[in-house]
Chain A
């Protein structure tokens, strides 16, 4: 007869999870893919923060003799046409990509949440006006809108962030608005009002937290998209200007000319972009599950 190992069963169900570390370990066991995503994101963030220490060479240092050098022991991922070390540029590029991705999502997210929450909550003329504005913005593709923004603002890191964040606003606002519309009729929102809470508190404490689950998925998907748009903008000369290493520009600069003679110039930035997008997506799915108390068992 099979013995039930009570201690093991309890551990599996997370009954004796206490303290931050064991909680973290428990979540990692529950969401192995999320753990992989988390590791990728951590590596990504780590290299962004400690780029100066980690990079074996100066990412901006050019040397004619090393031009288009294939990967070897000095240049682990080879060198580009100006003889700059690709590995160092990728490590430093993480900083640019992460800054642009996170900052644009924060900026676009905050504006989008405020507009969406106000739209869904206040309704009336404000909602009507905002929804038509959002219709107009959504009629244009993300890249085209970002292009227009970037072209009118001029190339710089800050302007790239603004150019990418503005097109995110309609997506976030739509998601928040639609959840708000259904949530504002829920009895628990009515209960909050009956308790004498201010409308602001009801909106922020009771409506907003319940709109977050779809937003986190949207944000992580957009983080990947933001990195890609940054790459496209940089390629067109409207993104992060030279000589800052941007994954997107590294990829697109070399794709046409050097892909046959020096494929490492395309492969490694490509892998970096894919991994970053993949990792944030896996991580985002797990975070969504963990943040939703209903899925916490």
Chain B
């Protein structure tokens, strides 16, 4: 049984339904609300145990907001978030504390995501302390274990973040995310700030850890090559909505949404003789404050018809496990 099929057979670790996050735009002295940023506008997906869902899209499409809302670092405007079947959308602070042990985050910038005034060991160990796990000696031992697991040495626990390289810092970030034995880790572009060679190391580490601890990942990224390597399924986002959602193989071999097609044609292929049909999008992503009517993508879509400008396409399942939001498919 493939990983994807196996994951589908089990109850999902994370279920997100109709998630919306609108940020108010305030103006003037009295902070009158003059508009809304439709950062996330009705997103649904699920992630099974030991599965990785890649969430891709251009900058500003709301993919990072999805990650933060799932972790309840931002409160959703609408929709439901279920962790192992439990609705955590409206949990209070105290209940949320326990839930936080189940889900953690790895940040994009390894420099600003570690407190410069705490030693690496303290950064990781603090999580164990606030959750009252073990005594001082046990916690130290656990942190040492985590350090060794992510490829750092025990001796480095005493060092401060500035003494590490970018890749090593990201390993500290991974050790921190693992400390509480979570089921789900949200990776907010965890490798895009690293050198390509280091990217590969970190991605492989993440994949090994997934195998070992049966972790589920929500992997937010804009680099399709990286996402292709690590993900089982992929959701493509455009202006706050998912436009295509399917397993990795189908997405890369048989993309149905014109936006996915355009993204794929932008991935460099390491073979100079291979010529592909190029599809270059015109213009920029429209503003999420005032998104286009109908299909959000119609302003840049080469196939757009009259209908696309008026009617918003729903996500439809065009083949088992392959959903697309396009009138033309």
A-side residues, CB < 8 A to B, are 186-188, 190-198, 201, 205-206, 209-210, 293-294, 296
Contact = CB atoms under 8 A, between A and B. Distances in A.
B115 A210 contact: yes
A188 B112 contact: yes
A186 B108 CA distance: 12
A293 B162 contact: yes
Contact of B71 (A194, A198, A205, A294): A194
Interface in B101-146: 101, 104-105, 107-109, 112-117, 126-127, 130-131
B162 A191 contact: no
Given A193-B73, A293-B160, A188 B126 contact: no
Contacts of B117: 209-210, 293
B109 A187 contact: yes
Contacts of A194: 71, 73, 100, 104-105
Contact of B73 (A190, A201, A205, A209): A190
Given A186-B112, A188-B112, A293-B160, A196 B130 contact: yes
Most interface-central of B117, B162, B180 (chain A CB within 10 A):
B117
A92 B49 CA distance: 73
Interface string B175-199: 0100010000000000000000000
Given A293-B117, A294-B162, A197 B130 contact: yes
A188 B104 contact: no
Contacts of B180: 195
A206 B73 CA distance: 17
A201 B97 CA distance: 13
Q: Is the interface of A mostly helix, strand, loop or mixed?
A: helix
A191 B107 contact: yes
A294 B100 CA distance: 31
A191 B130 CA distance: 13
Given A197-B126, A293-B117, 17 more contacts: A186-B112, A187-B113, A190-B105, A190-B107, A193-B73, A194-B71, A194-B73, A195-B176, A196-B96, A196-B98, A196-B101, A196-B130, A196-B131, A209-B115, A293-B162, A294-B116, A294-B160
Given A195-B104, A196-B101, A188 B73 contact: no
A293 B68 CA distance: 30
Contacts of A296: 160
Contact of A293 (B112, B116, B126): B116
A188 B71 CA distance: 15
Given A195-B180, A210-B116, A187 B130 contact: no
24 contacts: A186-B113, A187-B108, A187-B112, A187-B113, A188-B113, A190-B73, A191-B105, A191-B107, A191-B176, A193-B73, A194-B100, A194-B105, A195-B180, A196-B96, A196-B97, A196-B131, A197-B130, A205-B126, A206-B115, A209-B115, A209-B117, A210-B115, A293-B162, A294-B162
